[in-house]
């Protein structure tokens, strides 16, 4: 895959608590330089990123309910509406894992559907934290999300006990039947790992190592 093609699959991410305005400005500059699909940030940086990227093809992706997904539905909706008003074109929403563990799929569907309705034509990705789920829970979760109108299932926050795996990406791809896309996030730090995730079925990659991945692609192309 050419470096410029790979870049369009990457959400260039900085979600650390240590984020400063200078670091977020740098993130946007890097996204412009390398042609990443989006920058992925916490909500308080949405407006800044939207202003900095307004004349480019790089979009702003804001996390919702991050990283635990355990706040109330009303709060998630308010967070989503504010992010969209501030210029987000994509949302990465963390699923309520406790509801999933309890089998409360009606509440999960209601929440995801409500936030998708806020998005209108903008993209909603649902983070399900695969490292915390059984195979049966992954299947039930994907079935519920298929009914909710979401655009992507995202494997991981990158803040839990594990990140994306090739096995999980392939499993989600199969469960979603091509009707919802798959985003792999967490632990993707090299060109080889990025290619493996894409080969397993990922449509998008979330990573804070996007520059290293593209540099790896450029090195590979030079041979």
Task: Classify residue 58 by its DSSP letter.
Answer: P
The H or E element spanning position 12 is strand 10-13
Nearest-CA neighbor of 176 among 205, 206, 202, 199? 202
3-state class percentages of the chain: helix first, strand second, coil last, to nearest 5:
50, 15, 35
Q: Provide the token pair at 30.
A: 């890097």
Note whether 36 and 88 are within 8 A (CB).
no
Three-class DSSP category at 81: helix
Q: Does the domain formed by 3-222 have CATH 3.20.20.70?
A: yes
What does each of the 223 residues of the chain score in pLDDT, given as a tens digit? 899 999 999 999 999 999 999 999 999 999 999 999 999 999 999 999 999 999 999 999 999 999 999 999 999 999 999 999 999 999 999 999 999 999 999 999 999 999 999 999 999 999 999 999 999 999 999 999 999 999 999 999 999 999 999 999 999 999 999 999 999 999 999 999 999 999 999 999 999 999 999 999 999 998 7
Note whether 214 and 6 are within 8 A (CB).
yes
Nearest-CA neighbor of 10 among 52, 53, 59, 74? 59
Give the pLDDT of residue 222: 83
Q: Provide the token pair at 8.
A: 């369009």
**Tokens 């308080």, located at residue:** 44
Task: Classify residue 27 by its DSSP letter.
Answer: H
Task: Say what the pTM is.
Answer: 0.97
């Amino acid at each position: 895959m050419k470096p410029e093609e790979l870049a369009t699959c990457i959400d260039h991410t900085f979600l650390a608590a240590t984020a400063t305005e200078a670091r977020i400005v740098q993130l946007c500059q890097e996204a412009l330089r390398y042609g990443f699909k989006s920058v992925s940030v916490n909500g308080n940086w949405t407006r800044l990123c939207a202003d900095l990227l307004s004349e480019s093809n790089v979009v702003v992706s804001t996390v919702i309910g991050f990283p635990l997904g355990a706040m109330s539905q009303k709060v998630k909706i308010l967070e989503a509406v504010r992010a969209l008003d501030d210029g987000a074109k994509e949302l990465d929403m963390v699923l309520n894992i406790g509801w999933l563990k309890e089998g409360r799929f009606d509440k999960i569907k209601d929440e995801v559907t409500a936030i998708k309705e806020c998005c209108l034509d903008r993209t909603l990705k649902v983070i399900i934290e695969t490292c915390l789920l059984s195979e049966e829970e992954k299947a039930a979760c994907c079935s519920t999300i298929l009914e909710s109108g979401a655009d992507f299932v995202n494997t991981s926050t990158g803040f839990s006990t594990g990140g994306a795996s090739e096995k999980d990406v392939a499993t989600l791809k199969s469960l979603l039947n091509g009707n919802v896309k798959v985003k792999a996030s967490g632990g993707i730090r090299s060109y080889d790992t990025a290619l493996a995730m894409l080969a397993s079925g990922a449509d998008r990659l979330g990573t804070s190592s996007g520059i290293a991945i593209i540099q790896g692609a450029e090195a590979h192309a030079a041979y």
